[in-house]
Structure 1
Amino acid sequence: MARRRDLLKGLVTLPLAGGIAGHALAMPEQARDFERDYFKELGVRTFINAAGTYTALTASLPHPEVIKAINYAALQFVKLEELQDRVGERIAELLKCEAAMVTSGAASAITLGTAAVLTGGDPQKVERIPNDLTGMKSEVIIQKSHRVGYDHAIRNCGIKLIEVETKGEMEAAINAQTAMMWFYNNNNPVGKIRDEEFVAIGRRYGVPTFNDCAADVPPVENLWKYTKMGFDLVCFSGGKGLRGPQSAGLLLGKKDLISAARKNAPPNGNSIGRGMKVNKEEVLGMLVALEIYLAKDHQQDWALWEKQVKLINDAAVSVPGVKTEMHVPEIANHVPSIRIRWDAGKIQATPDEVRNQLRNGHPSIETVGGAESVDMTTWMMIPGEERIVAKRLKEVLSAAVKK
């Protein structure tokens, strides 16, 4: 079977003005080597990912070594808890924290971490949540600016979220029923209580703190920054920037809490986490993904992304009336990105219309943005795809120029 890196070398040499071979070009080499084109049979379109690591867009492509690890694990039996023990120990060593476990995504890590705080791993309490919290603390404090859909994973445990805005409100809200304080890292800049102060308050009152950093790699330093800062629990998605199995995640933190989280997780049957199964293939694949990510030349990756984004930028601004902004989001999806706007008096198309034309063309290209712009990033592209995106974007915008 041809290796994926051979494909990447070939794609890099594609000329911007060259022809596009449609579906086959956008398909990674290892996928082309299968006897059946399963997605085509099902009528499911593949696409070039110019949007980023969104779950709905199946996030990232696992590194080839991760796929090898998954295939290796799939052909042998092991005891799941023993594998979690050994992998957890290795991840904790790599990420400089007390303890770690592989979960079925970041949302699962949030639920299991909350359950750990509530139950302390007590088997009777594990059986009772979320319906009976008798004898357990039942409130979790959250900044109002940090309320997002992901906090449903906390509410799965039957707790009540207490919203606050200021430091004074937070301290006043802490009482005998306060189980935990939860922090959504992406919203750190907009909250009135920043991360270090948040941790300090938790320590002062003896309340565990949990930081959701699901999409916050890169930079690589974030993998140990927040546990070192003092958060008792931190979670990451495994299938985004880390390029592990998409349905895997990481829960990092204090030994006692990770141990308690494990009691609420598979293979334990009568627990809130029983349906959050993470299999041996994902556990091993997550470890291998981390090892590869930590060994990468991150500066080299960054330089490549900047070069790719500039190529798209240059193609876009060559169309009269188009203006662009190359930027890096402050926290989540912290990679070189581009925002594309245009003068509506010169180009007769809305951002939604341009997005749809890119999506419905050949090959299909997925982007993001709102009513004012089309936004892109290249870090989830196979090298060479940025040339295809630049060419198609210029074609779509040029066709909409007022005559």
Structure 2
Amino acid sequence: MNRRELLKGLTVLPLAGATPQVPQSTIRERDIFKELGIRTFINAAGTLTYMSGCIMRDEVVEVLESTSHHFCMIDEVQDKVGERIAQLVHSEAAMVTCGAFSAMTLGLAGILTGLDVRKVEQLPHLAGTGMKSEVICQKSHNERYNHAFLNTGCTIVEVETVEDVEKAINEKTALLHFLNIVSNAGQIKHEEWVALGKKHNIPTSIDIAADVPPVSNLWKFNEMGFDLVFISGGKAIRGPQSAGILMGRKDLIAAARLNSPPRGFTVARGHKVNKEEILGMYVALEKYLSNDHEKEWKTWENRIAHIQNAVEGLKGVTTKITVPELGNVTPVLTINWDDTVVKLTGRQLRDRLRDGHPSIEAQFSGLPLYHYQAGSDSIDPAVAETLKGGNLVRVTAWMLQPGEEKIVARRIKEELLTASV
């Protein structure tokens, strides 16, 4: 290329440092979902990761957009945001992670390495390092998400009784872990678990990834004495789906930070959270805490009641509204029908709602949400039999946008009537 051709090419490029001017109308009007053929839907199922979690608050989206135009140091953002979050959740310290799973890996990594950079660089290779290598949890608490701990090189030791814990604790024990959503299944309860950790000077942690609401869970377990608490940010808090929060003891959070980006050569180098997500997570938490939670609950009840009223009078159909004791504590509507009257299975109704216009996602079994894995039909094999011959769907209202309850009610009623004998 000669000089004249080079100069000619430069005339069509923006000046160095200038931002290309894209008409705002063009940005707003572009429907990238339609352009790529991606299905969008009304979410009457809940905050499942494979369904993209939640819809972020408008304030969060604004922060993501506004902060994307500036540079800043990631560590400074984590420092400032961590201080504010810690105050809000009544913990010594906190940091934003790329989800609750990441918080688990980073929390344990911090316990193993402390502030020893050489140990940080050695994870997950624990042999010959002097680092501890075992995490103890109750058998009923050893869910698949504990794989986050395996990423550090540690192994899981299952127990069932206090006596089992006493026998299992040894010089390799790094952590005593508790899973809140199945706390009713284990013999050892929260306070006793914390007491065991303090007795043996071993950190205790709790996974409350999806356990808000109630809002009080954001500080309840910190005040109870757990050393580390892990929570998702892209569920009820309605922050970025790729964000979460690790909160707890100041020394452990500092060590977790040493294992996290922007530092390289760490087991969690791939756990990047950029400035937009960190700041967005903070704003989402701030907004969630300032909600009128009683008013919000009433809204959910009204939406669920509207759907229930639309179908409960249909022949062969029965309904029931329940509130789970654990997990996402929100109103849930279960719709059952007599399959001699309504020739339809739960799976078939789910599929018809999914394939209709507009598309709607609902649950087609009575399974708790935590049984679901990567896809809508991918569940724990141990409970897969529950789905055979099922004639029910479950609907939640807390992820519905205003007015969507009317669409959900109409479509479910239509499908039940169409399938009626």
Q: TM-score, normalised by structure 1?
A: 0.91
2:345 is the counterpart of 1:326:
no
Residue 214 of structure 1 corresponds to: 209
RMSD, matched Cα: 1.4
2:183 is the counterpart of 1:188:
yes
Distance 1:122 1:243, change over 3 A: same
Give per-residue Cα distances to partners, 1:206-260, cap 9 Å, x unaligned: 1101100000111110000001101000011001000001100000000000000
The residue type paired with residue 375 of structure 1 is R
The residue type paired with residue 327 of structure 2 is A
Q: 2:271 aligns with which of 267, 276, 284?
A: 276
Please show how residues 163-312 of structure 1 align to structure 2 within 5 Å.
163-312=158-307
Give how far 1:337 is off: 0.9
Partner of 1:34, secondary structure, is helix
What runs of 5+ residues in structure 2 fail to find an aligned partner? 1-23, 366-386
2:353 is the counterpart of 1:358:
yes
Q: Distance in 2 between matches of 1:224 and 1:268?
A: 29
Q: Distance in 2 between matches of 1:260 and 1:202?
A: 19
Please show how residues 1-400 of structure 1 align to structure 2 within 5 Å.
34-133=28-127, 134-370=129-365, 371=387, 372=390, 373-400=392-419
Distance 1:31 1:253, change over 3 A: farther
Give how far 1:131 is off: 1.8
Identity of aligned residues (%): 52
Give how far 1:76 is off: 0.5
Q: TM-score, normalised by structure 2?
A: 0.87
The residue type paired with residue 159 of structure 1 is C
Distance 1:238 1:31, change over 3 A: farther
Partner of 2:205, secondary structure, is strand
Partner of 1:305, secondary structure, is helix
The residue type paired with residue 47 of structure 2 is T
Contact 2:176–2:203 (CA<8 Å) still a contact in 1?
yes
- Runs of 4+ in structure 1 over 4 Å off: 30-33
Distance 1:305 1:130, change over 3 A: same
Give how far 1:35 is off: 2.1
The residue type paired with residue 387 of structure 1 is K
Q: Distance in 2 between matches of 1:63 and 1:260?
A: 31
Distance 1:31 1:378, change over 3 A: farther
The residue type paired with residue 339 of structure 1 is T
Give how far 1:184 is off: 0.8
Give how far 1:331 is off: 1.4
Contact 2:124–2:267 (CA<8 Å) still a contact in 1?
yes
